[in-house]
Structure 1
Amino acid sequence: MPRITIQPFALTMSLDLRNLADKLRRYRQQFDATLPQVAESTGIPVEAMAALERGELSPSGDQILILADYYKCDFKFFISNDRLAPFEQTENLFRRFGDDLSAPDRWSIQEFLFLCENESFLAEELGRVPRDAFEFTKRGKFYKRHADEAAKALRTFLGYKSHEIPADIFHDFRRIGIHIFRRHLENSNISGIFIKHPTAGKCVLVNYSEDVYRQRFTATHEVGHSILDDKEDFVVSFKRWNREDLVEIRANAFAGHFLVPAAALAKIDSASLTPDSIVDFADRLRVNTDTLVFALKREGILTEVAARSFMGLRIPKGSKIDPELPPTLSARGRQTKHDLLRRGISTHYAQLCFDAYRQGVVSLGRLAEMMLGTEKELWEIGKLFGWSHEHES
């Protein structure tokens, strides 16, 4: 359950100071932060932070809340004498991919998981948890068969016709209980991450620095991991990957079958294909041209040689419509929503947050915290989601 803001609170239990010191030190090391950096961001003096990390100082309740807010974690993590799985999970993730994750990207992932925990909590409180979970059981050991069957099963579950093209896959995947967020990552070689969170469940992060059609593919690819590799705690997907990696091949195949089903290609005559028609058809399918070309080769419509001749074609950037940035938005509204998405705040998530505030589930301060901003920033953001604030004294 996400951290609940308490103002102020007193520690009523004895803390294992060595355990707390270990948590604080390991958290700081996860993010390559120095003691002066933590002190400057939290307002806790460097000397006090150093003493806390040595286990020589008992923190106040306010300090616990401040540190939990800084590290975007549940404050109970610090005051309990138990180790919580989410912390161990990110520590293992950062250790394994340390060379590929800059300090800003580590913070982005931590905030992404914070958003997932919040979304899970709010959906439960507001009675909006998806009731019909999608389930799929792999048969045999043929990975591409897994991908094909899982994609067909999910399309059927979502109610798509065999030839129908998904319009808003982010909405579709939230319908089956996946927490999916887009967020700018500094390392552009990372396309997406799947994390099986111990409390929030299946979580998918998509690199928002990519174009929207690539984001659609990445989101579907990571959902493929969540369905077909659900025994893993996390999977990090890179643009440049080992071409012999069967797990990545399977997730790619899943995305291809889901976004470009065979029935959508059934009437295509290979002799009529030109660079212009490939670009036009890919745009109508809402995929980049290489995804379409691979699908055409998959279905035997293009030979290997013909497929290579069509690789690398580009769809005009202006024709790609993001479902969360519709043309009906004003220029200012579009920029605000773009900035929110860049930070990980989806329309779905923001609406949950504002609805929770309207219904008294969270306080104004907690709302600002969940939106990764300040109370002052909420007034402008709220207008985009049909929320007008009347200040309550």
Structure 2
Amino acid sequence: MPLTREELGRRVRSARESCGLTQEQLGEAVELSRIAISQIEAGSRSVSSIELDRIAYAVGRDIKAFFADAFVEQDALAALFRTEAQLAEQVELRHALQDCLALGREMTNLERLLEIDRAQLRAASYERPAPKSRWDAIQQGQRIATEERQRLGLGASPIGDLVELFESQGVRTGLVTLPDNISGLTLWDDKIGIFVVINSDHSALRRRFSLAHEYAHVLIDRERSGAISRAENRTELLEVRANAFAAEFMMPAEGVVQFAQALGKGGASRAQVAVFDEADVVQVEQRATPGSQDIQLYDAALLAHHFGVSRISALYRLKNLRLIDDREFQRLKSEEDTGAGRAIANFLAADDPVEERGTRDEFRRRFLGLALEANRREEITQNKLTELAAMVGMGRHDVERVLSSAGLGQA
């Protein structure tokens, strides 16, 4: 059945409203007047392909969605904006998220053209009842992190590139400038799958922890339309669970204990063993040199560098695993607050943050590589290749130069 102008207008209105945009806001985004948007939605004005493409981008949709037999009234971004209305009002943020989803859709289309099956790249899902208390949330997060590390065959070793790990599980990632109180968010989209977005303005180590935090939402909270990790929501049970997951996932208890033991630290100051031979017993006692087992700030700096986390995260982990008590924690934290930790880390050459390969850069490399392959197979034109390259900051001359050097340019 052909799509009527009236039905197309209804779909435009539905997509706009589901994003929480007014006609005036949509008009500003696509360089049309409010009256023109009103006429399009009423079916009394035709809409060009260029205008519809701009509208689709503004509401976070693929233009093809407007012509589908079954129109999806609310997609992932729309659901997010409906529950978080203040996000939709932040124009730059809205555009950044729209860019991420647009890239995700184009990547999905390239994979389809090249017959790359992502169905086999699917993150696990852990169904758990909603936690009843913070303690319950912590226990759930830690157990699931342990199970996921076992499933991935990570053992007690540090995790290398989280972006690469995410990609192997079918999870796309992106870096976006978000409000400072938002560390990241996770979107579920029927077309592009799971998309994790991290705040690009945060430090490398904080972004790394945020990735692990969002991975918890991917694994446990997939029935939700999306998840936003805000500083002011850190006491909510699902956020407590995600933070507990991230700590155990990044710094497994077994690995932390092993690392401390390798430094000759963390053991008991006094150990006793009773050796029994079926007739009598021999008592053996070993006393460590006073203070020899005390963990110092330089030990915490080495631990943090080993697992790719911040020193303060390492200190909290040591405390939670009872490798240091509260008094020792306060002493070490005070030293860290004075800047001693950074000086020590510099001295130990352990201050360089473990940079991910750059969520945008890794995505960009794969995106451009697939686009070049699709062009070589004549699945997309050179003009389409140029359009895709522009989405990740590459100009027409860059495209022409690489095609020419690879012998792929137009004759």
| TM-score, with structure 2 as normaliser | 0.74
In structure 2, what is the Cα distance between the partners aligned to 1:240 and 1:166? 28
- The Cα offsets for residues 256-314 of structure 1, whole Å up to 9 and x where unpaired, read as 11111112211422544223332232123211122212221221112234334434555
The number of aligned residues is 361
1:245-256 matches, cutoff 5 A: 245-256=236-247
Quickly say closer, same or farther: Cα 1:34–1:383, change in 2 above 3 A: same
Quickly say closer, same or farther: Cα 1:378–1:129, change in 2 above 3 A: farther
- The Cα offsets for residues 361-391 of structure 1, whole Å up to 9 and x where unpaired, read as 3333333444453896155489899985743
Displacement of 1:148 in angstroms is: 2.1
- What's the C-alpha RMSD, in Å, of the aligned pairs? 3.6
Amino acid paired to 1:319:
D
Are 1:131 and 2:153 counterparts? Answer: no
Please say which structure displays the higher CA radius of gyration: 2
In structure 2, what is the Cα distance between the partners aligned to 1:200 and 1:181? 13
- The Cα offsets for residues 75-131 of structure 1, whole Å up to 9 and x where unpaired, read as 23334575415x443233113222356221112122222222233333344325262
Displacement of 1:233 in angstroms is: 1.0
For residue 59 of structure 1, give the secondary structure of its aligned residue in structure 2.
Answer: coil
- The Cα offsets for residues 123-178 of structure 1, whole Å up to 9 and x where unpaired, read as 34432526264434446753333222322222223222x22111101101111111
For residue 202 of structure 1, give the secondary structure of its aligned residue in structure 2.
Answer: strand
Displacement of 1:46 in angstroms is: 6.9
Are 1:264 and 2:255 counterparts? Answer: yes
Are 1:183 and 2:170 counterparts? Answer: no
Are 1:113 and 2:107 counterparts? Answer: no
Quickly say closer, same or farther: Cα 1:24–1:220, change in 2 above 3 A: closer
| TM-score, with structure 1 as normaliser | 0.77
| Alpha carbons 2:185, 2:226 under 8 Å: kept | yes
In structure 2, what is the Cα distance between the partners aligned to 1:165 and 1:118? 33
For residue 47 of structure 2, give the secondary structure of its aligned residue in structure 1.
Answer: coil
Displacement of 1:179 in angstroms is: 1.5
Larger displacement relative to structure 2 (363-372 or 225-234): 363-372
Residue aligning to 1:347: 365
Quickly say closer, same or farther: Cα 1:111–1:147, change in 2 above 3 A: same
In structure 2, what is the Cα distance between the partners aligned to 1:197 and 1:208? 22
Runs of 5+ consecutive residues of structure 1 not aligned to the other structure: 1-10, 326-337
Residue aligning to 1:275: 297
Displacement of 1:19 in angstroms is: 0.6
Larger displacement relative to structure 2 (89-98 or 195-204): 89-98
In structure 2, what is the Cα distance between the partners aligned to 1:383 and 1:55? 45
User: Which of residues 77, 92, 115 in structure 1 aligns to 2:79?
Assistant: 92
Displacement of 1:348 in angstroms is: 3.4
Are 1:16 and 2:9 counterparts? Answer: no
Identity %: 18
In structure 2, what is the Cα distance between the partners aligned to 1:389 and 1:240? 54
Runs of 5+ consecutive residues of structure 2 not aligned to the other structure: 267-292
| Alpha carbons 1:191, 1:238 under 8 Å: kept | yes
In structure 1, what is the Cα distance between the partners aligned to 2:376 and 2:383? 13
1:302-317 matches, cutoff 5 A: 302-311=324-333
1:169-318 matches, cutoff 5 A: 169-185=162-178, 187-243=179-235, 245-267=236-258, 268=260, 269-270=265-266, 271-311=293-333
Quickly say closer, same or farther: Cα 1:95–1:122, change in 2 above 3 A: same
- The Cα offsets for residues 226-249 of structure 1, whole Å up to 9 and x where unpaired, read as 111111111100234342x11001
| Alpha carbons 1:192, 1:222 under 8 Å: kept | yes
In structure 1, what is the Cα distance between the partners aligned to 2:406 and 2:301? 43
- The Cα offsets for residues 182-205 of structure 1, whole Å up to 9 and x where unpaired, read as 2222x1211111112122222211
| Alpha carbons 1:24, 1:53 under 8 Å: kept | no
For residue 16 of structure 1, give the secondary structure of its aligned residue in structure 2.
Answer: helix
For residue 5 of structure 2, give the secondary structure of its aligned residue in structure 1.
Answer: coil
Residue aligning to 2:382: 364
For residue 357 of structure 2, give the secondary structure of its aligned residue in structure 1.
Answer: coil
In structure 2, what is the Cα distance between the partners aligned to 1:383 and 1:364? 12
Quickly say closer, same or farther: Cα 1:265–1:374, change in 2 above 3 A: closer
Amino acid paired to 1:247:
L
